[in-house]
Amino acid sequence: MAGPDPGYDRVVGRAHASRSEVIAPHGMAATSQPLATQIALDILKAGGSAVDAAIAANAALGLMEPTGSGIGGDLFAIVWDAEKKELVGLNASGRAPQAMTLEYFQTNGIDTIPRYGPLPVSVPGAVDGWFELHGRYGRLSMREILAPAIAYARDGFPVSEVIAHYFKSNESRISQYPGFKETYMPNGHVPRKGEMFRNPRLAKTYEAIAEKGRDEFYKGSIARSIDAYMAEQGGLLSYDDLAAHKSEWITPVSTNYRGWEVYELPPNGQGIAALQILNLLEGYDIAAMGFGSAQYVHTFVEAKKLAFEDRAKYYADMDFVNVPVETLISKKYAAERRKLIDPNEASQELPAGDAPLQDGDTIYLTVADADGNMVSLIQSNYRGMGSGMTPGELGFVLQDRAELFALDADHANVVAGGKRPFHTIIPAFVMKDGEPLMSFGVMGGAMQPQGHAQIIVNIVDFGMNLQEAGDAARINHKGSSQPTGTMMTTGGVVHLENGFSKATREALQLMGHVLGASDGSFGGYQAIMWDKEQGVYYGASEVRKDGQAAGY
């Protein structure tokens, strides 16, 4: 890329970059917690695969960053298999309990699924996801893989700054539920920045999983503890629901954006919204608009609105509804939809709403090994620490994903027993000329597909490097139609980070956009890029989080 513009504060690169990219020849890991990144590297150095390292890091994050992850939640992954030269996806999201029916909510006079408590709990899929991934791509034993997280759970680790902040916000929401204080407030308060925190309960749970396998979680003592706890709390999740769970291997879908083949997973997640946004943007000369310009922001927001309108109408569990994925991500469809975008005025009549998809704390991590294998993995409880349901002596919180079901009988995402809810968490991957190029993700509720599209645009159109693309100021439009069936008729609110100029903001307001605060809900990014010519990996980590990219 060209040299720095006059006035840049850094010796090289763009002024907004927090640091340079990390470059290494043998392996790379990028996670939202430095200790988890180091664990992943240790696993790679011990002969483990990229998947082994990803599982180890995910287990560590379930301990160290329970404010965004844990074995009470779900998991999705995209894996590049270097030996077979194939890209595969794993949907390890859990289903609604069989007793969770529309009739149940209607009979009990419940018109909105609660955010917290026993009712929004769906089957946690993460552990089964670990074992599915390990069964195909693992080299080390699960005992070796989980050992670092077990040691930190028993001996303790220092809580980092961002995680401490989210611990505090979760305390005010869910600390009243049985088991939470015993697990996460042993000293009478949630862990604080720099404080050594131990979770011996989770250490025992991890040890049981390592020794006895995934069935210990879904059919053994852990499942029975969850069943008993949920029955006591009046929840719907049962032992039979856990015992019936299984993950699904799926084929990622893609669109080509100016020569980059961008891959996402099909619904029940929202990944294809990123592909729809990119298809719409491809019809414009984005590079000529310039990063940070009002015209670029306007075009991006209008494309996002159109994609999210489809997201609300169509995205759901494809075992229950026929989602027209091929049509939605086609160039022809985008060309027709693009005609609805006015280049000078914000749309005000698209269906929109203030549903709960804006508040999804998550962890994203990516690992690459010396053999060229790469894994893009995302995992979450939803709403930070999930439902608040903290069963028995197990040391983790159960997710509240079922909150995202609709209670409208005519909606694609209507609740049903055994159905997977609409999901916000999405991993991403890029291929170019038939070769793996980039594994990345941007965590954060409905910000995720917006973030995916912005990262690609930043690199492809604006010429940023891997770290600069993540550090650049982001756009987060809130207020589109949501998969819960909630709708309004408004143009929504455009939230811009502080890197956007006053002139851009004023021009957007003149176009009819409503601007909101720079409220911090701009996601969290990790990425790895493969340089085939030099045989090295580039790594980048989110400047807004506690994370780290590191290689060896």
Helices (H) and strands (E) in the chain, counts: 19, 21
185 and 296 part of one domain: no
pLDDT at 444: 86
55 falls within a domain? yes
Domain contains 45? yes
Q: What are residue 430's DSSP bridge partners?
A: 262, 438
Helices 447-460 + 271-281 axis angle, to 10: 40
Answer yes or no: do 256 and 229 share one domain. Answer: no
State yes or no: is 327 an active-site residue.
no
Alpha carbons 170 and 153: distance in angstroms, whole number: 20
Q: Are residues 224 and 282 in the same domain?
A: no
Domain boundaries, position 126: 22-69+98-246+384-401
Flag whether 447 is in a domain.
Answer: yes
Whether residue 162 sits in one domain with residue 150: yes
Q: Are strands 435-443 and 351-352 parallel, antiparallel or unpaired?
A: unpaired
pLDDT value for 348: 80
Is 143 found in the same domain as 27? yes
At residue 502, the pLDDT reads: 96
- In a domain, residue 368? The reply is no
Which residue bears the tokens 């009712």?
119
Q: Is residue 33 part of a domain?
A: yes
Number of domains in the chain: 2
Q: Which residues is 456 bridged to in the sheet?
A: none
**What is the per-residue burial (b if ≥16 Cβ within 10 Å, else e) of 413-441?**
bbbbbbbbbbbbbbbbbbbeeeebbbbbb
Asked if residue 238 and residue 145 are part of one domain, the reply reads yes
Whether residues 211 and 328 share a domain: the answer is no
Closest CA to 324 of 316, 314, 312: 314
> Going along 418-547, which residue ranges are E strands?
428-432, 435-443, 475-478, 488-489, 493-496, 515-516, 524-531, 536-541
In a domain, 281, yes or no: yes
Q: Mind listing the pLDDT tens digit for each residue in 10-28?
A: 456 788 888 899 999 999 9
d(CA 273, CA 450): 8
Q: Where are the beta strands (DSSP E) in 187-287?
A: 196-197, 248-250, 253-257, 260-264
pLDDT at 352: 30
- Cα separation, 73 vs 82, in Å, equals 29
Domain check: are 314 and 433 in the same one? yes
Q: Between the CA of residue 198 and those of 33, 49, 159, 204, 205, what are the distances in Å?
A: 16, 28, 10, 12, 14
Round to whole Å and give the CA distance between 168 and 164.
Answer: 6
| Exposed e or buried b per residue across 341-369, where buried means at least 16 C-beta atoms within 10 angstroms of its C-beta | beeeebbeebbbbebbbbebbbbbbbbbb
- Domain end residue (candidates: 401, 433, 452): 401
**Would you say 163 and 546 are in contact if contact means Cβ atoms under 8 Å apart?**
yes
Within a domain: residue 377?
no
Residues 258 and 284 reside in one and the same domain: yes
Q: Which of 299, 362, 366, 390 is catalytic?
A: 362
Distances (CA, A) of 39 to 34, 54, 146, 484, 530: 9, 9, 10, 38, 21
DSSP letter assigned to residue 340: T
pLDDT of residue 15: 83
Tokens of 150: 């077990």
- Report pLDDT for 8: 37
The pLDDT tens digits of the residues spanning 250-304 come to: 999 999 999 999 999 999 999 999 999 999 999 999 999 999 999 999 999 999 9
Question: Do residues 257 and 301 both lie within one domain?
Answer: yes
Cα distances (Å, whole numbers) of residue 63 to 134, 149, 305, 443: 20, 7, 36, 18
Contacts of 467 (CB under 8 A, 6+ apart): 13, 17, 18, 19, 20, 21, 540, 541
Residues 236, 270 within the same domain: no
What pLDDT, on the 0 to 100 scale, is given for residue 481?
Answer: 59
* CB-based contact 14:464 (threshold 8 Å): yes
Q: Which letter does DSSP use for residue 12 in this model?
A: S
The CATH number that applies at residue 266 is 1.10.246.130
Q: Which residues of the chain have pLDDT under 50?
A: 1-10, 351-360, 488-489
Instruction: Please give the Cα distance from 102 to 11 (Å, whole number).
Output: 60
* pLDDT at site 353: 27
Strands 428-432 and 374-380: unpaired
In a domain, 151, yes or no: yes
Phi-psi label, residue 432: left if phi above 0, alpha if psi -120 to 50, beta otherwise: beta
Alpha helices (H) in 28-125, listed in sequence order: 34-45, 50-64, 102-107
* pLDDT at position 445: 85
The verdict on 314 and 340 lying in the same domain is: yes
